[in-house]
Amino acid sequence: MEFIIDAAVKEAYEAKGIKDEDIKAVVEGAGKDRIYNGSEFIAKKEIGDMTVYARYKMEGDKATILSAYKHKMKILDIVLVGDDTEWKYCANGAVVKAGHTNLTYLGATRSGPSLVEPESGQSWFEEYLANGALATAEVLFQQKRA
Amino acid sequence: MSEEIGPTDAVCPECLKTIHAKKIVENDDVYIVKTCPEHGTWKVKIWSGAEHYKYLYEFAAVPKTPTKRAVGDIKDCPHDCGLCNRHLQHSCVNVVEVTNHCNLNCPVCFATANGCGYDFHPDIETIRGMFQTVVDFVDSPRCVQISGGEPTIRDDLPEIVKMAKDMGIEHIEVNTNGVRIGNDIEYLRKLQQAGVDDFYFQFDGTDDAIYMKTRGRPMFDLKQQAIKNVAEVGGIGITLVVTVVPGVNLDHVGEIIRFAARNTPTVKGVHFQPIFHVGRYPVDPTDDNRVNLPQLAHEIEVQTKGMLKADNFMPTSCSNVHCDMKSLSVVLPDYSLFPLTTMALGPPAKTDDIANKTRKEVSEFWRFIEVSMDGEDETRDKDDHTWNTFIKRAKTHYLTVSAMAFQDVWTGETERWERCCIHVVTLDRKLIPFCLFNTTARDGTTLYRKKTFCQ
């Protein structure tokens, strides 16, 4: 698989501690375990203590990485299933819903808005939340160790 | 059976001469045993839980002698303090006393204000000199606590605060009993405009029966009015400072924490100070007259019904690890606490510049954050158990619950004095660890206070 990664995209994900090989592991290892909205894919993979996401487009064997992000919180169960979204889960073709999923970190469990597929129990978190509230909460907890 | 866990030095409670001491464990309690060849032996319980006491050493900061010191080599620690090249920690807070007059006459007063046999009410140039000592000896950011006596009896306090800020002292905390700011909101406004960052606010409980014992008069309504005034004026945070006395208010610590939570975001913290004994003591205080930090943490856990657990308290690692403990919680919309700190996090990863980190915390984290910072948000007052709401609350509604075990002549020891980071500024340009500064012998003779302020 060939990867096309813009310098600005690479700089942004490297600043979050994500490496090139993480991106490749997410995209190449996804198979059908990814969601698709007719234009782009989101795939995720647990790497070490992180869940790494790649948002990308495919053209033949070429993957153009649009962005990558991560969170350290561990994904737990779906707690709310809402309306349909534009996304479909490639593994079973089911429509992905808007929902809420529990996340746990250093002993604390709370939920966050997510994309959910109830049949498989899969959840995905979007970039705005991972880079915003989840990252802030992680720092808040971690800084107590500093 | 007793186990010796370390030699240390101390001063004799009778004559204040430097003597050798040792710490021992008996029945899982840690004691300090002091022997003066002339005046006998004293044994005082200082900690409950020997393994916990030993484990805390892993939280100790990397020793860091202040680079700018008023005193060079010394012969007799702690009698030639100032700080010297034996001291192992920088200042994180400097205490500048601006009067020993007070508008209360409390039975309990570490500063022995009023009727202490000397008068200290320096002019503004003398105070400028004390601020200059801070500027000269402490690196930025500098945090000064203006203390007394009661600083707010001075009409020129706003001028003093402004002078400190103009001289490069970034964070100003005023230690107050709240009488003036509860009664005189215009004076409070002047303090706010002058640049006061927070009040270190004497608060002994939510019941006037407590104040009758500790302050000799009912004060709870006035305390609430003062907090209300500070909220109305805005821009200043409050730390409730509680002198904890067994038999007086030790059984109220849980209620005090709940009161503080209900008064966030104006109230940013509760700081418990277990009573320490200074002044004249015809009869030695007993272990029953004291409460140590693990005992206090246990009481907090019981009285908050586990909302805040003993394990949520960690040493700041700024002072000696047996001097303080601190927790940080987000206050949720139902005023329950969501603790962020836990001993399970283990020792801090980086302690080589902990005093600088603490000064920044005092100046940045404890500072009042305007509620309007984040705009109107209807989710702020209800908890939907999401991380989003949690973070929005955390920006404004947080509460530190901390404690500091100040030392007196019975409990004091060199191992703790030499790691102290709270230093009183003297008129002769020295910085003296707070506990040393306030130490008195059994007959009331002071180690430093009187000779410093009776020049």
Q: What is the average pLDDT across B255-280?
A: 93
With cut-offs at 50, 70 and 90, classify the pLDDT of residue B22.
Answer: very high
Strands, DSSP E only, in B115-196? 143-147, 171-176
Return d(Cα B47, Cα B287) in angstroms, integer: 11
- End of a domain among A56, A71, A86? A71
User: Which comes out higher in pLDDT, residue B88 or B167?
Assistant: B167
Residue B338 lies in a domain: yes
Give B202's strand partners.
B241
pLDDT at residue B236, as a whole number: 97
pLDDT at residue B221, as a whole number: 98
Residue B424 lies in a domain: no
Paired tokens of B381: 């007052």
Q: Are residues A7 and A64 in the same domain?
A: yes
CB contact under 8 A, B387 and A134: yes
CB atoms within 10 A of CB B221: 11
Q: Are residues A103 and A55 in the same domain?
A: no
Domain count for chain B, please give it.
Answer: 1
pTM: 0.81
Paired tokens of A50: 């992180």
Q: Among A123-127, B277-281, B292-296, B318-322, whose mean pLDDT is lowest?
A: B277-281
Indicate whether A6 pLDDT > 50: yes
Q: Are residues A7 and A61 in the same domain?
A: yes
Q: Are residues A48 and A79 in the same domain?
A: no
Q: Are residues A7 and A37 in the same domain?
A: yes
pLDDT at residue B380, as a whole number: 46
User: B149: closest CA among B128, B181, B119?
Assistant: B119
Q: What is the average pLDDT across B374-393?
A: 63
Q: What is the average pLDDT across B282-295?
A: 87
Q: What is the average pLDDT across B209-232?
A: 95
Is residue B230 helix, strand or coil?
helix
pLDDT at residue B358, as a whole number: 54
* Mean of the per-residue pLDDT values of chain B: 88
pLDDT at residue A70, as a whole number: 95
CB atoms within 10 A of CB B288: 9
Give, in order, the Cα–Cα distances in Å from B271 to each of A31, A129, B200, B300, B335.
56, 35, 9, 12, 18
A78 at interface of B, judged by CB pairs closer than 8 A: no
pLDDT at residue B354, as a whole number: 56
| B388 interaction partners in chain A (CB closer than 8 Å) | 112-113, 129, 133
User: A141: closest CA among B257, B315, B328?
Assistant: B328
- Pick the residue of B387, B388, B397, B401 with the most A CBs within 10 A to test the interface with A by mutation: B387
Paired tokens of A95: 């429509």
- End of a domain among A71, A93, A110? A71
Determine the straight-line distance between the first and last CA of chain A, rounded to whole angstroms.
Answer: 40
| A141 interaction partners in chain B (CB closer than 8 Å) | 340
A137: nearest CB among B345, B346, B387: B387
Q: Are residues A66 and A9 in the same domain?
A: yes
Residue B139 lies in a domain: yes
Residues B65 and B87 sit within 8 Å (Cβ to Cβ): yes
| A123 interaction partners in chain B (CB closer than 8 Å) | none
Structural domain for A58, as ranges: 2-71
Q: Are residues A64 and A12 in the same domain?
A: yes
pLDDT at residue A132, as a whole number: 78
CB contact under 8 A, A113 and B345: no
Structural domain for B198, as ranges: 93-404
Q: Is B118 exposed, middle or buried (0-12, 13-18, 19+ CB in 10 A)?
A: exposed
Q: What is the average pLDDT across B221-231?
A: 98
Is residue B153 helix, strand or coil?
helix
Provide the chain A residues 31-70 that lie in CB contact (below 8 A) with chain B: none
Q: What is the average pLDDT across B65-72?
A: 83
User: A69: closest CA among A8, A27, A10, A130?
Assistant: A130
Residue B207 lies in a domain: yes
Predicted ipTM beyond 0.85: no
Q: Which residues contact B97 (CB under 8 A, 6 or more apart)?
A: B111, B120, B147, B148, B149, B424, B425, B453
Residues B436 and B409 sit within 8 Å (Cβ to Cβ): no
Omega of the bond leading into B149 within 30 degrees of 0 (cis):
yes
Return d(Cα B455, Cα B441) in angstroms, integer: 20
CB contact under 8 A, B387 and A140: no
| pLDDT single digits (tens) B329-383 | 888 888 888 887 878 777 876 655 555 655 554 444 333 323 323 333 444 456 6
Q: Which residues contact B167 (CB under 8 A, 6 or more apart)?
A: B128, B131, B132, B135
| pLDDT single digits (tens) A45-58 | 999 999 999 999 99
| pLDDT single digits (tens) B99-120 | 999 998 877 665 555 555 678 9
Q: Is B180 exposed, middle or buried (0-12, 13-18, 19+ CB in 10 A)?
A: buried
Q: Are residues A66 and A98 in the same domain?
A: no
Give, in order, the Cα–Cα distances in Å from A1 to each of A20, A56, A59, A62, B169.
14, 13, 10, 6, 59
| pLDDT single digits (tens) B38-53 | 999 999 999 999 999 9
Nearest CA in chain A to B345: A145
Q: Are residues A64 and A40 in the same domain?
A: yes
Assign residue B376 the CATH number of its domain: 3.20.20.70
Q: Among B60-69, B91-100, B105-114, whose mean pLDDT is lowest?
A: B105-114
CA atoms within 13 A on the CB side of B212: 3
Is residue B159 helix, strand or coil?
helix
Quote the radius of gyration of chain B (alpha carbons, Å): 21
Q: Are residues A103 and A118 in the same domain?
A: yes
Could you tell me how far CA A114 lies from the centroid of its own chain? Answer: 10
Return d(Cα A57, Cα A52) in angstroms, integer: 17
Q: Helix/strand/coil (H, E, C) string of B187-218?
A: HHHHHHHHCCCEEEEECCCCCHHHHHHHCCCC
| A146 interaction partners in chain B (CB closer than 8 Å) | 348-350, 357
Q: Are residues A7 and A63 in the same domain?
A: yes
With cut-offs at 50, 70 and 90, classify the pLDDT of residue B451.
Answer: confident
Q: Are residues A49 and A81 in the same domain?
A: no
Residue B418 lies in a domain: no
- Cα distance from B350 to chain A (closest Cα, Å)? 6
Angle at which helices B253-262 and B293-303 cross, to 10°: 60
| pLDDT single digits (tens) B155-208 | 999 999 999 999 999 999 999 999 999 999 999 999 999 999 999 999 999 999
- Cα distance from B340 to chain A (closest Cα, Å)? 6
Return d(Cα B323, Cα B420) in angstroms, integer: 8
Maximum pairwise Cα distance, chain A: 47
CB contact under 8 A, A110 and B344: no
Domain count for chain A, please give it.
Answer: 2
Residue B434 lies in a domain: no
Q: Among A15-24, B84-93, B150-159, B256-265, whose mean pLDDT is lowest?
A: B84-93
